[in-house]
């Protein structure tokens, strides 16, 4: 394999990869005339457009906004790097090389910190500024030197490798597909840049030559990866944030915004599935209706903001008292509902009593003032009554009112009722 170069700027021959020999015959015909400056220019324009679009998007949540801004900045810096590399591949001007190298490294740094924000890790912006400052001084001091390419490629390899490892560790937060594609792409960039750096350290180009790439040293492969990387980063960032927006909308539809519990709709939907069960299907399910006692007094004494805080605190206490398989939902106002798998009515009664005692035992704060809170619980069990879920809710709700009329802070079930 051989590569022709010409000493004069703008010569088209130095920008194309000439492939010869057996290995060249095995390569795709298009790569035999791979025009690197054109690829860099197209990649730069695409990266700039993608970064601008991403910068113009708005996302909810401080961490998501920061991730968008960092990834958009990375896309714009990548475009600057690709434009500079395109110019360096066609010109012997010394300043294109340090500009392109610094922009590429800076873009990878920003993308890395943006990815940390995507996987819910705090970005290290001071580290980015420190590395960029050191990089600018180093590359400017090496301008015109054959070693500038080696140093730049080595930096790209190290940063891309660290970036790939970080994303691989957080791949579950990125989702299936994206969590594998991004680390693989950046790992490829790291390997290609590392191979290129090793090649340039062993066979440095002349100090006065333009930036040249060859398939033999992985240059064209590295060029393709450099063009693809910003586009894939911006695209996958948009995809991840879109998925999270969808998940947030689903959570908004399924969760109570104040307490974070499931809402009434989820409780009714889950309960409707009980209608499809046979009476002898294990396990049985306890249906609980829970109402906070004297909640109006809290609102009247401390205000509605304090009342909202009490609802949140009581919801947390009840959640901790129930097993993970239970569904606890806010039914409306100060009323809650729960579905709890149980073996029999005795276990259901024990579950309800444990929840009631947990709430009564806790001390709550209303505008900084300690208050005691109790709940009244009505309970029934699915396969003992043979009723549909709507009827089970009605029965449990009636037993809540029976608990309140009996003095509150108690559990009422079938055995509690007068015969």
Catalytic sites, residue numbers: 334
Q: Report residue 149: phi and psi, to 5°.
A: -65, -40
For residues 88 and 80, the answer to whether their CB atoms sit within 8 Å is no
Nearest Cα neighbor of 114 from 78, 157, 149, 150 is 78
Q: Report residue 231: phi and psi, to 5°.
A: -65, -45
- Give the span between the Cα atoms of 188 and 106, in whole angstroms: 18
- Give the span between the Cα atoms of 371 and 302, in whole angstroms: 11
C-alpha 412, offset from chain centre: 45
Residues whose CB falls within 8 Å of the CB of residue 402, separated by 6 or more in sequence, listed in order: 378, 412, 416, 417
What is the total residue count of the chain? 419
- Give the span between the Cα atoms of 369 and 96, in whole angstroms: 66
The two tokens of residue 363 are: 């001390």
The two tokens of residue 45 are: 């324009």
H or E segment to which residue 411 belongs: strand 411-412
- Give the span between the Cα atoms of 83 and 39, in whole angstroms: 10
- Give the span between the Cα atoms of 287 and 349, in whole angstroms: 11
- Give the span between the Cα atoms of 380 and 386, in whole angstroms: 11
What is the DSSP pairing of strand 335-342 with strand 363-366?
Answer: unpaired
């Amino acid at each position: 394999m051989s590569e022709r170069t010409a000493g004069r700027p703008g010569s088209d021959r130095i920008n194309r990869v000439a492939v010869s020999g057996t290995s060249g015959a095995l390569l795709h015909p298009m790569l035999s005339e791979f025009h690197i400056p054109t690829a860099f220019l197209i990649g730069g324009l695409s990266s700039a457009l993608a970064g601008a679009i991403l910068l113009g998007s708005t996302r909810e949540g401080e961490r998501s906004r920061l991730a968008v801004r960092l990834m958009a900045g990375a896309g714009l810096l990548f475009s600057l790097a690709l434009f500079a590399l395109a110019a360096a591949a066609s010109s012997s001007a010394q300043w294109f090389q340090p500009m392109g190298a610094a922009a590429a490294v800076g873009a990878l740094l920003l993308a890395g910190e943006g990815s940390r924000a995507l996987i819910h890790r705090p970005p290290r912006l001071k580290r980015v500024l420190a590395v960029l400052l050191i990089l600018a001084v180093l590359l400017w001091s090496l301008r015109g030197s054959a070693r500038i390419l080696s140093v730049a490629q080595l930096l790209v390899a190290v940063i891309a490798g660290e970036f790939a490892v970080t994303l691989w560790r957080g791949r579950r937060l990125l989702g299936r597909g994206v969590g594998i594609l991004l680390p693989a792409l950046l790992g490829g960039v790291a390997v290609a840049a590392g191979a290129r750096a090793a090649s340039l350290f062993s066979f440095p180009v002349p100090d006065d030559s333009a930036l040249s790439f060859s398939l033999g040293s992985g240059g064209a492969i590295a060029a393709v990866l450099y063009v693809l990387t910003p586009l894939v980063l911006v695209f996958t960032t948009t995809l991840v944030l879109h998925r999270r927006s969808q998940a947030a909308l689903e959570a908004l539809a399924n969760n109570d915004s104040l307490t974070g519990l499931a809402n009434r709709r989820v409780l009714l939907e889950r309960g409707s599935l009980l209608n499809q069960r046979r009476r002898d299907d294990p396990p049985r399910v306890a249906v609980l209706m829970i109402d906070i006692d004297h909640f109006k007094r809290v609102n009247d004494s401390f205000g509605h903001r304090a009342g909202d805080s009490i609802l949140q605190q009581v919801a947390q206490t009840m959640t901790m008292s129930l097993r993970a398989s239970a569904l606890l939902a806010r039914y409306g106002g100060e009323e809650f509902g729960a579905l709890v798998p149980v073996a029999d009515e005795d276990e259901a009664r024990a579950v309800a009593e444990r929840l009631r005692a947990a709430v009564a035992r806790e001390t709550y704060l209303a505008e900084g003032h300690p208050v005691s809170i109790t709940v009244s619980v009505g309970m029934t069990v699915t396969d003992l009554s043979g009723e549909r879920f709507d009827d089970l809710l009605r029965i449990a709700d009636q037993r809540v009112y029976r608990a309140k009329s009996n003095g509150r802070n108690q559990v009422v079930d079938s055995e509690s009722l007068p015969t």
